[in-house]
Amino acid sequence: MNKENIIEITHVNKVFSDPDPFVKDPGLNALRNVSFTVRNNEFVSLVGPSGCGKSTLLKLIAGLDKEYEGTVSLCGVDVKESRVPVSYMLQKDCLLPWRTIMSNILLPVEVRKGDIKKVRQKMESLISEFGLSGFENYRPNQLSGGMRQRAALLRTYLMEGEIMLLDEPFGSLDEITRMQMQDWLIRVWEKHKKTVLFVTHDIDEAVYLSDRVLVMSTRPGTIIGDIPVTFGRPRVREMLLGTEFNGYKKRLLEMLSKTED
Ligand SMILES: Nc1ncnc2c1ncn2[C@@H]1O[C@H](COP(=O)(O)OP(=O)(O)O)[C@@H](O)[C@H]1O
Ligand SMILES: [Mg+2]
């Protein structure tokens, strides 16, 4: 393996078939010959039409589904052979309603029986960075949608591992909150630099946030484009108004429109 490639996906095929052996089922071909790599500390977005297999792919990378052909390796380790810890966040915030924000955030540390005292020491600055100061003892239903997503992101951030898999984290937010969350995520990422694989169906979001955008075809999903975004960092909103940005958008739209049946 090339040491730089923290995520390496090679010729992955995934078919969902009915577990009942008496059902004559040809199976549903979800992923077809998917190959790509992500380098250490890169922010890569994966865009593609709904149902093309994005969430399926993330589940394979997270090691939650091992029924597939091909290889998924993280930090040089085949995930079928041994567990590689990753931070994984679903579109739904999945915060436990009966727990306070603080105890929701500390859940992954609790689950892995980590040193809560040690983590708590750095919590104050993280809580403030994630815009949650003063809300530590609130329950999730007392927070706005954006705050809940930030709490879920902080919880994801505290999971073990250098790789963050984010599955449409802002998909359910209104446009203004989504914009604020993008700006905030970009600032946090530019400071902390983790390897991020970010699933979205929003082209602007993908270009604005990423170092590289991977484009997926309709199901069975395969990678049909790999576009480096060469805007400098820090990213600022004005970039979204320029001709360079529109160039990226046009290329991506063209690729995605070709995927329609
Ligand atoms: N557990 C499952 N069993 C059978 N089919 C599934 C399962 N999960 C997803 N699929 C199917 O696989 C395809 C890809 O789904 P998904 O990965 O959720 O797409 P996306 O995240 O890109 O919208 C869809 O057609 C979906 O119905
Ligand atoms: Mg999905």
Determine the distance separating the centroid of ligand 1 and the alpha carbon of 56, expressed in angstroms: 6
Position 259 confidence tier, pLDDT thresholds 50, 70, 90 = low
Average pLDDT in the 209-221 region?
96
CB 203 within 8 A of CB 155: no
The Å distance, Cα 97 to ligand 2 centre, comes to: 23
Q: What confidence score (pLDDT) does residue 193 get?
A: 85
| 2 has pLDDT over 60 | no
Is residue 16 lining ligand 1, measured as CB closer than 6 Å? yes
Tell how far the Cα of 84 is from the centroid of ligand 1, in angstroms. 23
User: CB-side exposure of 118: number of CA atoms within 13 Å?
Assistant: 6
Among all bound ligands, the one having the nearest atom to the CA of 59 is 1
Q: Looking at 40-138, which runs of residues are DSSP E strands?
A: 43-47, 69-74, 77-78, 87-89
Together in a domain, 190 and 142: no
Q: Are residues 221 and 188 in the same domain?
A: yes
30 lines ligand 1 (CB under 6 A): yes
- In the chain, how many domains are there? 2
Calpha distance 136→152 (Å, rounded): 13
Check whether residue 165 and residue 149 sit in a common domain: no
For residue 115, the model assigns a pLDDT of 85
What does the pLDDT read at residue 81? 94
Q: Where are the beta strands (DSSP E) in the chain?
A: 5-16, 28-39, 43-47, 69-74, 77-78, 87-89, 163-167, 195-200, 212-216, 223-228
Residue 260 pLDDT greater than 70, yes or no: no
* Averaged pLDDT for residues 189-217: 93
Which residue in the block uniquely carries the two structure tokens 């706005």? 144
* Strands annotated E in 40-158: 43-47, 69-74, 77-78, 87-89
User: In this structure, which residue's CA is closest to atom 23 in ligand 1?
Assistant: 51
What average pLDDT does the segment 243-248 reach? 95
Q: Could you tell me which residues are beta bridge partners of residue 44?
A: 197, 212
Please tell me whether residues 168 and 251 are part of one structural domain. Answer: yes
200 and 174 in a common domain = yes
Boundary (domain end) residue, out of 104, 125, 153 = 153
Same domain, 111 and 135: yes
Q: Where among 119, 134, 153 does a domain terminate?
A: 153
Confidence of residue 184 (pLDDT cuts 50, 70, 90): confident
Q: Looking at per-residue confidence, does 100 or 19 come out higher?
A: 100
First-to-last C-alpha distance (Å) of the chain: 36
What is the 114 CA–ligand 2 centroid distance (Å)?
A: 31
Query: Which domain-ending residue is among 107, 137, 153?
Result: 153
Q: Do 72 and 176 have their domain in common?
A: yes
68 and 194, same structural domain? yes
Ligand nearest to the CA of 19: 1
**Tens of pLDDT along 76-102?**
999 999 988 899 988 777 899 999 999
**Beta-bridge partner residues of 186:** none
Could you tell me the two tokens for 187? Answer: 């600032």
Residues 106 and 166 both lie in one domain: no
Q: Which of 28, 167, 223 to mutate to test the pocket of ligand 1 (most atoms within 8 A of CB)?
A: 28
Q: Ligand nearest 34 Cα, by number?
A: 1
Mean pLDDT of the chain: 91
Residue-range definition of the domain harbouring residue 51: 5-86+161-258
For ligand 1, whether the C-beta of 54 sits within 6 Å is yes
pLDDT category at 168 given cuts 50, 70, 90 is very high
Place of tokens 């997270």: 62
Could you tell me the sign of the dihedral formed by the alpha carbons of 65, 67, 71, 76, in that order? positive
pLDDT for the residue numbered 261: 53
189: Cβ contacts below 8 Å, ≥ 6 apart = 43, 196, 209
Atom of ligand 1 nearest to the CA of 52: 22
Q: Is residue 25 over pLDDT 80?
A: no
